[in-house]
Amino acid sequence: MNDFKHKLKNFLWNVRNTIHVSSVRTSEFFQKHHLGFITRWPGWLKAIFYLLPALTLLAIFTFYPIFNSFLISFYTGYNIQTGEFDGYTFLGNYAVVLQHANFKQAVLNTAIIVFVSVPITIIVGLLIAVALNAIKPLKSFYQTIFFLPYVTNTIAIGLVFAFIFSGNQNTIINPVGLGLANQVISWFGGEPIAWVAAGATYWSAMSVILVYSVWNGLAFKIIVFLAGIQGIDKQYYQSAQIDGASRAKSFTRITVPLISPMIFYILITSVIGSFKTYSSVVAIINKEGLITTGAEGSINLKTIVFYIYDYIGGASLNGVMSYASAAAIILFAIILVFTVIQLQVGKRRVHY
Amino acid sequence: MEIRLEQLTKVFTDKTGKETRAVDDLTITIPSGKLVGLLGPSGCGKSTTLFMIAGLHKPSGGKIFFGDDDVTKLAPEKRGIGLVFQNYALYPHMTVRQNIMFPLENLNIGRDEATKLVVEMAKLVGIEDQLDKKPAQLSGGQQQRVAIARALVKKPRVLLLDEPLSNLDARLRLQTREEIKRIQRETGITTIFVTHDQEEAMSISDQMVILDYGVQQQMDKPQSMYNKPINLFVAKFLGNPPINIVEGKIVDGKVMIGDNIQVSTRKNAKDGVYDLGIRPEDFRFDPNGFDVDTKDMDHIGRDTMIRFAVGDIVLRALVDSDSVQGQKTIKLSVKEGKTHVFEKETGHVVL
């Protein structure tokens, strides 16, 4: 075994040497024959050459669609098959989208998800990270547990959530196959709730989505915060301890300011991520984002991305794609505004 | 506030169960209002001792007294100490003012009084014009002063300094150590500081403790320790250029190097082989002394360092530059009473 290892290392050594020597020879050859320009490209040309594969893909699948959707949002009667359109409208498509009752509901749904789940995830994530940093035994075990949601498929998690929060009007009256959440409620003597099935209310379904968003978002945040906390010099805490600062005070006055760059990064990315919520609603509710409640109608839990997808689904009709594009641009504008605000606030509040 | 350490011991156990005695049975009394230096080579347990006094490390055995109070089990914040860390540990996100005020926030005093105390402290250490800067905008010496001000602002009973000068450049070091001495005098606070730099320790401490492998070697005033080292370790550790250690013997009360160089006399010592310690500056010109070749010389301003061989061992002698000018050989002898005789086995000094 050792002999094999030795041979392998020798082999790798020789390969590396050969490559190095031959590359030196090649460049010497070029120099000698006045071909030095081949090895001495200007820096920017080299950079473009290396970036080209990525740039090509980005151009085709990201930059062009962004640009195009911006254009489409100003067309009227746009046909996605032929690419023909009747004419231009400046804000017509935007007006249609903004006046649509479903769009207002979608903005409201999304806003609730953003403004409830993001602060909760950050605060809870921070506390868990501090707790993880403080314990020694089973640390990696807990780290694994908290990191699991990050590597688990959203739809698989959705199925598990569907089990946990299962229960509708009928199964509650005749308690068979109630979900985990309802069983726990029953043990404590509470009334089972139809969380996301028939008989659900807006807030019961929304709270499940929020629980899911918080839990699903925790993993990555904990890892980032933990890395930040582990990078803080222990002497700051020792110094604070000698000065009689309580643990809570050390946390708010030392830990939080010193990892504020991480918190800020997490805040911006998770606000953007939450504004784009889609798959979690599909996983927990259904792919329509609607809970049908008998004859009275339905509970609408569509997010903005849902709304865009709904339009894309109906885009075989002329002009509908323009509504989808307009909605997408509106979402972009909302995210842009919030990010700019956060960056402005961050300038004053974040200590790099 | 007098500080007493009684049989203080700290044992670190690593993952494999191997034990390291960082501090071993240390018993010292630090007199009230004095500046005491803990000195020793790196890894000798001096910082561990300091952190035990601060309460950041729990002793494995022994007791710590502040005056008559046993503080061994007391939490750091209840001991009334101020600690200056080696890298200062200033909070980078707070201004100098906020840094100095931080200890006061945890005390039950009014904001006006706290603000006044901060300015007072800043004046004491000479940084009153830097109060609204962040630590990163200050020089190393200024950061050091901020750290001292922060440690002193809550009027601690004891000030502890962990390698206070090691992060400063040579010039600043000189200036800061005078500053520390001044601040200590003005406040009259019992101060313990840790250093591996003997010159630093000798220049500012009232009393010095030398540690090696967690064991106290000697505690004394710097100059008396230099003149009367208790053992070979202390003799070797103090002094720059270092002391000459050469094997010698005592025959009939004469202290001899080799067979024919007599350096001193000792009437009451037994005949035998000893280690002799002679400081370079303790050689002098003497017409009756032994011959020294002046081939290998360094002129360092006022003094000249001569390296000469006695047998296999090279000795250094530090002599006046004027007297060696242009001479091929000179005669040297050792000043009266300046030969330190150490037992070969134990390294203890023979008086």
Among A263-267, B274-278, B288-292, which is the least confidently predicted range? B288-292
Q: Which of these, A100, A102, A76, lies nearest to A321 by C-alpha position?
A: A76
- Candidates B50, B37, B3; CA nearest to B165 is B37
Prediction pTM value: 0.79
CB A246 within 8 A of CB A121: no
Q: Is the pLDDT of residue B69 over 80?
A: yes
pLDDT tens readout for residues B236-254: 988 888 899 988 888 888 8
Inter-chain touch A241–B76, beta carbons under 8 Å: yes
Chain A CA closest to residue B79: A242
Through-space distance between the first and last CA atoms of chain A, rounded to whole angstroms: 50
Name the nearest CA neighbour of B264 among B347, B344, B350, B345.
Answer: B350
Q: Identify the residue with better confidence: B73 or A189.
A: B73
Q: Over the stretch A16-46, which tens digit does the pLDDT of each residue have? A: 999 999 999 988 888 888 877 777 778 888 8
Instruction: Closest CB to A242: pick one of B76, B91, B92.
Output: B76
* Topology (CATH level 3) of domain B244-350: OB fold (Dihydrolipoamide Acetyltransferase, E2P) (2.40.50)
Residue A173: per-residue pLDDT: 66
**Mean pLDDT computed over A44-70:** 92
pLDDT of amino acid B259: 76
Q: Structure tokens of A66?
A: 């962004």
Q: What is the pLDDT of residue A51?
A: 94
Superfamily of domain A92-349: MetI-like (1.10.3720.10)
**Residue in B87, B102, B106 nearest the CB of A235:** B87
Nearest-by-CA chain B residue for A240: B103
Pull the structure tokens for residue B34: 């004095």
The pLDDT of residue B100 is 93
Token couple for B345: 């086995």
Q: What are the tokens at B156?
A: 């601690």
Flag whether residue B54 sits within 8 Å of chain A, measured between CB atoms. Answer: yes
pLDDT at A328: 92
Is A92's pLDDT higher than 90?
Answer: no
Best probe of the A interface among B53, B101, B102, B107, by most A CBs < 10 A, is: B102
Residues B306 and B296: beta-carbon distance below 8 Å: yes
Contact B26, B52 (CB under 8 A): no
Q: What chain B residue is nearest to A235 in terms of C-alpha separation?
A: B89
Return the number of CB contacts < 8 Å for A and B.
57
Third-level CATH fold of B3-237? Rossmann fold (3.40.50)
Domain ranges of chain A: 2-74, 92-349
Domains of chain B by residue range: 3-237, 244-350
- pLDDT(A118) > 90: yes
> B93–A258: do the CB atoms touch at under 8 Å?
yes
